[in-house]
């Protein structure tokens, strides 16, 4: 484990919680609190004496997304934020803090007040960043409290409408023959799309030219416009465009084909069984956030993951909420730790680093 990143208590750099918002590229989707019946409409979130949580949440909560609006992490965040806002009895503002493969947002939240009002939605990049970034200014395990896992999303390898190859086999041959011109879009070092590209390179022995974006929302827009050739992104961003034929789909990165995309072969069928990755997401608050606040957020997350609109929307996009026993801080911490261990040697062997 990379203890070099750990800070001792008291070393936390603490910018003002509210003031930082103005300097960020953000969008402010306000999710109106659902004023439910009975006493649930109060801002107390239904708490009793509250313990260390007091009357949390009294104020609006901000969910920080480490990638661009309109991308897959943003989509998952907005889906679960709505029922969580209703459950907590407050507004949830979704804010996009892009940059450096998600590490800018994670550093920001690590340094916020540990009061439960700034919540990070991050994905698998939380576990790859410690290996990719030699000077990462936070420790994923030490500087956050985990709230719970949210969903695990398959990835798809897709090509622009006029990109010549039509199958994965043709893709590999074409990229090999045109290495000096073919471009691969991703969301920067630490993004899931970058990790998937790295696995593609490992599996095929090809070294592809990367074009980094601040999220795969804008990357997909450029793919649709034939400005980049191919990319690997989550089904939550690609499914509709694959089904409509707007992009070419080469493979899905799961052991089995998925219901939402029954015609897309798996990477194993395509002959690269090692190219498998699913993008798990979880919620985080700064280390030191009182356990009662984490519990309130977790309880709301668990309700949101059973919300029929969330279940149906994720199913349409090729995925599902995690089961309730994985939507816990304990399961989340264990998974994060396991994933750091899993990806470190793979990334180290690739030689890729942001340093
Ligand atoms: N899913 C993207 C990635 O990590 C980022 C995003 O959500 O835009 O590649």
* Residue-range domain boundaries for the chain: 3-152+281-350, 154-252
Per-residue model confidence (pLDDT) at position 51: 61
Q: pLDDT tens digits, residue range 168-227?
A: 999 999 999 999 999 999 999 999 999 999 999 999 999 999 999 999 999 999 999 999
| Residues in CB range of 135: below 8 A, 6 or more apart | 355
Instruction: Report the distance separating Cα 242 and Cα 261, nearest Å.
Output: 8
For residue 234, which atom of ligand 1 is closest to its CA? 1
Give the distance (Å) from ligand 1 centre to CA of residue 10: 33
Give the distance (Å) from ligand 1 centre to CA of residue 191: 6
Q: pLDDT tens digits, residue range 290-340?
A: 999 999 999 999 999 999 999 999 999 999 999 999 999 999 999 999 999
| pLDDT band, very low/low/confident/very high, at 53 (cuts 50, 70, 90) | confident
Q: Is the pLDDT of residue 17 over 80?
A: no
Question: Averaged over 106-112, what is the pLDDT?
Answer: 98
Give the distance (Å) from ligand 1 centre to CA of residue 143: 22
For the ranges 6-10, 12-16, 271-275, 284-288, the lowest mean pLDDT is seen at 6-10
For domain 154-252, the question of CATH label 3.50.50.60 is answered with no
Find the residues whose C-beta lies inside 6 A of ligand 1: 67-68, 71-73, 125, 186-187, 191-193, 215-217, 234
Whose Cα sits closest to atom 7 in ligand 1?
A: 73
Per-residue model confidence (pLDDT) at position 295: 97
| Contact between residue 199 and residue 277 where contact means Cβ atoms under 8 Å apart | yes
Cα 70 versus chain centre, distance: 12
Domain 3-152+281-350 and domain 154-252, same fold? Reply is yes
Q: Is the pLDDT of residue 23 over 90?
A: no
Q: pLDDT tens digits, residue range 34-50?
A: 322 222 222 333 333 44
Positive/negative CA dihedral, 220, 323, 149, 62: positive
For domain 3-152+281-350, the question of CATH label 3.40.190.150 is answered with yes
Whose Cα sits closest to atom 6 in ligand 1?
A: 215
- Looking at per-residue confidence, does 11 or 157 come out higher? 157
Give the distance (Å) from ligand 1 centre to CA of residue 61: 23
Give the distance (Å) from ligand 1 centre to CA of residue 170: 26
What is the pTM assigned to this prediction?
0.85
């Amino acid at each position: 484990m990379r203890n070099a990143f750990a800070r001792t208590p008291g070393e936390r750099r603490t910018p003002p919680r509210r003031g930082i918002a103005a300097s960020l590229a953000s969008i402010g989707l306000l999710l109106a609190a659902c004023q439910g019946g009975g006493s649930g409409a109060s801002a107390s979130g239904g708490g009793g004496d509250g313990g260390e949580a007091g009357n949390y949440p009294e104020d609006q909560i901000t969910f920080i997304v480490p990638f661009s609006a309109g991308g897959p992490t943003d989509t998952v965040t907005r889906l679960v934020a709505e029922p969580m806002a209703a459950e907590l009895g407050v507004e949830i503002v979704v804010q996009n803090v892009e940059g450096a493969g998600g590490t800018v947002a994670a550093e920001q939240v690590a340094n916020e007040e540990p009061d439960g009002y700034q919540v990070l939605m991050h994905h698998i990049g939380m576990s790859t960043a410690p290996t990719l970034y030699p000077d990462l200014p936070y420790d994923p395990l030490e500087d956050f409290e985990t709230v719970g896992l949210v969903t695990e999303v398959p990835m798809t390898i897709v090509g622009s409408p006029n990109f010549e190859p039509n199958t994965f086999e043709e893709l590999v041959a074409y990229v090999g023959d045109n290495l000096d011109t073919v471009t691969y879009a991703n969301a920067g070092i630490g993004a899931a799309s970058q990790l998937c590209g790295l696995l593609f390179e490992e599996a095929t022995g090809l070294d592809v030219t990367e074009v980094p974006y601040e999220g795969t929302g804008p990357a997909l827009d450029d793919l649709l416009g034939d400005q980049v050739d191919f990319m690997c992104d989550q089904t939550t961003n690609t499914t509709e465009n694959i089904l409509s034929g707007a992009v070419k789909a080469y493979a899905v990165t799961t052991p089995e084909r998925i219901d939402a995309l029954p015609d897309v072969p798996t990477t194993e069928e395509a002959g690269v069984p090692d190219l498998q990755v699913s993008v798990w997401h979880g919620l985080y608050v700064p280390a030191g956030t009182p356990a009662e606040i984490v519990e309130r957020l977790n309880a709301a997350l668990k309700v949101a993951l059973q919300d029929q609109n969330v279940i149906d929307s994720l199913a349409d996009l090729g995925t599902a909420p995690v089961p309730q026993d994985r939507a816990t801080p304990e399961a989340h911490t264990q998974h994060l730790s396991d994933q750091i261990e899993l990806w470190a040697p793979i990334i180290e062997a690739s030689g890729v680093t942001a340093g």
